[in-house]
Amino acid sequence: MTGQKRCWEQFVQQRGHKIASYYRENISGTKLDRPELGRLLMDSHHNDILLVEQIDRLTRLSNSDWMTLKKQIEKHELRIVSLDVPTSWQALSDKDPSQADPITRAVITAINNMLIDLMAAMSHKDWLSRRQRQKHGIERAHYTR
């Protein structure tokens, strides 16, 4: 087991859960059609946790593609937990989120959705910026030859 997997295992065990499966995608998060993501969605069950290290590991999609993916995640009734979004960790503290106080649950859900949407947009913007800088760097390299 890699050090990263050990950290994830420890993170979820401390909160009374276990990791059922690992999915490693070799296709960019800028693409909506990803085999491992599709497999994850097909393998998932109601109320499962989708644990990611960072939101940009899940998506660097355009806003419209992110909304499509988000609808698929919601359709499968998955809860996103990201190590870089501490408010999302709440999903791990309640075995059955329907038992939580409805107002608290609604507030935490709204905050998490907003943060995850914001981070998804920032991930896409960062990817576009890096792509533009690479393009300019390549163009400059050709001029200096």
pLDDT in tens, 98-127: 566 888 888 888 999 999 999 999 999 999
Pair 38, 73: CB distance under 8 Å: no
Residue 85's domain is classified under what CATH number? 3.40.50.1390
Number of residues written out for the chain: 145
Instruction: Return d(Cα 52, Cα 81) in angstroms, integer.
Output: 6
pTM beyond cutoff 0.85: no
The domain of 67 spans: 3-143
Please count the structural domains in the chain. 1
The string over 9-18, giving b where at least 16 C-beta atoms fall within 10 Å of a residue's C-beta and e elsewhere, is eebbeebebe
| Tens of pLDDT, residues 87-98 | 899 888 755 555
* β 49-52/79-82 pair status: parallel
pLDDT of residue 11 exceeding 60: yes
Question: In the prediction, which pLDDT does 145 show?
Answer: 58
- 113 near 63, Cβ under 8 Å? no
Write the CB contacts of 95 (distance below 8 Å, at least 6 apart in sequence). 16
Name the residue among 41, 135, 107 with its Cα closest to residue 80.
41
